[in-house]
A and B are shown apart, each in its own frame.
Chain A
Amino acid sequence: MTSLDDRQRIFSALGRHWNPTAATMLAAAGRAVESHASGSRVYAEDGTEALDLAASYGVFLVGHGNPRVAAAVAEALRQAPAAPPGAVHPATAALFRALGEILPAGLDRFALGCSGAEICETALRAVRLARPDRHRIVVADGSYHGKTLAALSLLGQGNHRTPFEPLGGHLVVVPYGDAAAVRAAVADGSVAAVFLEPVLGGAHLTVPPPGYVRGVAEACAATDTLFVADEIQTGFGRTGRMFAVERDDVRPDVMLLSKALTGGFVPIGVCALSSAVVEDAARHPRWHPSLLTSGSAVTGVAVAAAAATIAEVRERDLPARAAELGPRLTEGLAEAVRRHPKHLRAAPGIGLMTGLRTANPAVELMVSIGMGMRGVHTGHSLNEQIAEPVLRMYPPLTCTAEEIDQALAALDETLTWLDRQPRALTRAATALLRRQYRLPPRLLLRMNKSPIRMDWQAA
């Protein structure tokens, strides 16, 4: 159990020395202190537990603390945790062998990084080097490729870009799901690459119609434009296939992998490229191998965790499990939308990549809070600016049918309560949410009756 004094110390440290606004929000929400996690469940120091459908937007694909990955991590920590430059870590070889067996054929050159954003930057450099005379990059509206400064220049989400604009004039944003828009954008041969999530993630979760990804890929092939598949959220079985591009039987020129790859243990990212892309890049007059080198922070522990995670995904055939269990969740969510249409719009989903498209950000927040009160964590978007955010549910692929039923029962209770709230209330609450960061932070704590004393105000 965490005492109030102890909680106060933790919040004071986070508020003063980490992120004052996030600390305020966590305190206002009355969040407990995390203790540990196992399987599909997260436990707090106060003894409460929750079914984790947030799963860090897909990181915990093989469940929390997966025994096989945990053993690999512990062994690497004790035997060979580092991957110093100029040496070979055997787990790197194991990872590359495994990737070679599961990736679409032709993606056989790798650069490693420590996050999705890092390897997205690697891909951006690669396509620019490989297509030096083409200055434009195409992305989809609502797409997410990370928040480092260069990755930001690719972001299809305006609210994250605006405070840092101008970021560069090379971006072309097309509607998601419309292959004709991509064909038009690349037609004049001025586009170096199309960056695309095969299933649009984030608060914009959208499953495109079958054939869309193939259409994009064919438009790229017809114009010698490179096709970068961002499988950071979708990779390793989340959508019911090992990679989401398999749905359209497509082989990209570059593929980005991260999030679930180490089973929730250690940051990593892999930029997988075809040899042709690397060879094209190497013909650039200013080519230097360091331009596509791996990040120096990648460790032996990270590659060991990644190799073990892929082994777990394959041995337990978790993509098939997502395909099998997915309909139980997606159909349950669709039924929830049918039963409670007042505040919901749709239930997009494929495999175990699912969510509820809500009427407005206040509804997303209220459903998220209601689920939390009933012991289920969901993936809140933290995006109060878009019109109809999707509350994400990305359970571990190792979850059980009973756990899905538990989540759906909690959802039905939550929505039954929500149905009693007028639409006007959620619209007013949305207006308030959109202004919440301009309110005095202390007011937020008082409004939520938080016992935490806010001692991290700027001087």
Chain B
Amino acid sequence: MTTNSHLGTREAPDLDDGAVVRRHLIDGPGPQAPVIRRQVGARIEATDGSVWLDAASAGFGPGHPAVTERLVAQAGRTALSSRILVSRPLAEAVTALHRLCPDPLTVSYLCNSGAEALDSALKLAKGTHPRRRLVMGFAGADHGTLLHGLSLTHGFPLLPDQPLGPVAVPRDRPDELVARVRDDVAAVVVAPAAPGRRLADLPADWWRRLRAACDHTGTLLVLDERLTGPARLGVDLAVTRLPVTPDALVLGEPLGADAVPVGCVVTSRATYDRVYARRNPSLHGSTFGANPLSAAAVTAVLAVVADERLADRQREVERLARARLAPLAGVGAVTDVGADGALIWLRLAGPDAARALVTELARDRVLARPPDGDVVAVLPPLTAAPGDVAELLDRVAAAGGRLTTTGPDAGREVRA
């Protein structure tokens, strides 16, 4: 800390938008990042005139006419709310979520991000078992940007004495996870599928054993569907493809149409009541959470998911991805390709090759997330136009095909 009467500094006037964001944003985008002018579905028109295709956002897709008009209309009435009065948009949103989720998952807590929703599931677990100090999951898995999600991802506690310490099991040893569920664990967090892990990689029997272990110990089973739901795996929710029902189901950014921050955790009434019944309703909550604009987004998005059969569209994406990308596997630097609906990924010969692929994709105007080790995810928006998806997959196939396989040049582009 210092004290200083001088307040504020003016930015150097010659810095462009990209440079300003890179200068100030921690973990910001690289120098090749497009500056957005307009977005529709997977198409991003940049201010320099280039057109990019979005394989990074894993969202619903911006610019859907019905959703946009619903959001513009709601923003014109009331967006956030002073919450003194009763919210009709919220009633509609939780009703839509009830229709989406399998019984007995009937109670929805709306908040401001998938990360917050996951955190709310863990808070529910902590309230259920206050003395338990552990949360379990797969090491390296993406569980959002809040403390406990990051701790699971990185596999170590980020605070010396945080509310729940992480027990992160290697991703290739799922049986160890089941075996470690004991009565000192408040919650187990697992995603149905993830880049690098197919839905089928965790068989039905594994899920049954995990459910049984959680039932035996009272541990909450939290299903992280921030990426997979709704529709991405070719079904409205991935949970419908599992032989078990979780205690809490977490949904995230796609519910907000990529425009309005929102997340949701859905639980059974019994699970919810164990912590929150007969207590002050402000025991958990958020200034912004459950606001009318986010509620309107949830309702509008889920209406499109149903009316336009978005899950079916993702199965078409899967068929296309398998046709275009599967031939890459084992030929060059690509060692494996996965596609569960529109959850598409490529495993490369190593992390260097994965980084090289992302660089190649950027050269071909495909926006991709930084690789997770040797895996590059391809996650087009749910409402991407079929032609854009085909073009996106063609560009991925071309970039993947240009990479060499092993040795010191692994991942380097093969130049003609």
Contacts and interface: CB of A to CB of B under 8 A. Distances in A.
A81 B44 contact: no
A34 B85 contact: yes
A118 B115 contact: yes
B88 A10 contact: yes
A33 to B, nearest CB: 5
A323 to B, nearest CB: 16
A149 B5 contact: no
A52 B106 CA distance: 33
Contact of B256 (A16, A246, A299, A458): A299
Interface centre among A93, A105, A299 (most CB of B within 10 A): A93
B76 A65 contact: yes
Contacts of A249: 3-5
Contacts of A87: 29, 33-36, 44, 52, 56, 367
Contact of A31 (B85, B276, B282): B85
A183 interface: no
A34 B81 contact: yes
Nearest to A52: B82
B68 A77 contact: yes
B281 A22 contact: yes
B363 interface: no
Contacts of B11: 96-97, 100-101
A267 B80 contact: yes
Nearest to A122: B145
A250 B126 contact: no
Given A79-B38, A148-B146, A168-B163, A21 B24 contact: no
Interface string A303-318: 0000000000000000
A128 B84 contact: no
Contact of B161 (A74, A78, A168, A294): A168
B360 interface: no
A35 interface: yes
Contacts, number: 464
Given A149-B147, A299-B261, A93 B163 contact: no
A74 B72 contact: yes
Given A22-B281, A79-B38, A13 B25 contact: no
Interface residues of B, number: 137
B86 A437 contact: no
Contacts of A160: 282-283
A3 interface: no
A93 B131 CA distance: 45
Nearest to B85: A34
Nearest to B42: A84
Interface stretch (A212-220, A398-406, A407-415, A417-425): A212-220
B269 to A, nearest CB: 5
Interface string A69-94: 01001101111111111111110111
For the side of the interface on A, what is the size category?
35 or more
B3 A35 contact: no
A77 B57 contact: no
Contacts of A88: 17-18, 21, 29, 33-36
Interface in A431-459: 437-438, 458-459
A343 to B, nearest CB: 22
A37 B293 CA distance: 13
Contacts of B90: 14, 18
B136 to A, nearest CB: 15
A167 to B, nearest CB: 5
Interface string B67-90: 010011001111111111111101
B268 to A, nearest CB: 10
Contact of A267 (B37, B83, B112): B112
Contacts of B77: 35-37
A366 B95 CA distance: 33
A26 interface: yes
A448 to B, nearest CB: 15
B162 A168 contact: yes
B172 interface: no
A78 B145 contact: no
Contacts of B302: none
A251 B57 contact: no
B251 to A, nearest CB: 11
B388 interface: no
Contacts of A288: 154
A338 B11 CA distance: 49
Interface stretch (B116-124, B195-203, B325-333): B116-124
Interface stretch (B209-217, B284-292, B337-345, B399-407): B284-292
A31 B288 contact: no
Contacts of A149: 119, 122-123, 126, 146-148, 163-164
Interface in A149-203: 149-150, 152-153, 159-160, 163-170
B240 interface: no
Contacts of A112: 25
Contacts of A65: 76, 78
Contact of A84 (B59, B83, B370): B59
B279 A117 contact: no
Contacts of A458: 269-270, 273, 277
Contact of B2 (A33, A97, A106): A106
A269 B85 CA distance: 25
A444 B257 CA distance: 39
Nearest to A262: B80
Interface centre among A150, A152, A168, A290 (most CB of B within 10 A): A150
27 contacts: A13-B91, A14-B91, A17-B108, A34-B87, A34-B88, A80-B39, A84-B56, A90-B37, A92-B25, A93-B17, A100-B8, A102-B7, A110-B25, A114-B113, A117-B116, A125-B159, A148-B147, A149-B163, A170-B161, A217-B3, A220-B1, A290-B145, A291-B158, A296-B113, A296-B252, A301-B259, A437-B279
Interface of B: 1-11, 16-18, 20-21, 23-27, 29-30, 33-39, 44, 47, 52, 54, 56-57, 59, 62-63, 68, 71-72, 75-88, 90-92, 94-95, 97-98, 106-116, 119-120, 122-123, 126-127, 130-131, 133, 144-148, 150, 153-154, 156, 158-164, 252-253, 256-263, 269-270, 273, 275-294, 362, 367-370
Given A118-B113, A147-B284, 4 more contacts: A81-B258, A108-B9, A291-B154, A459-B269
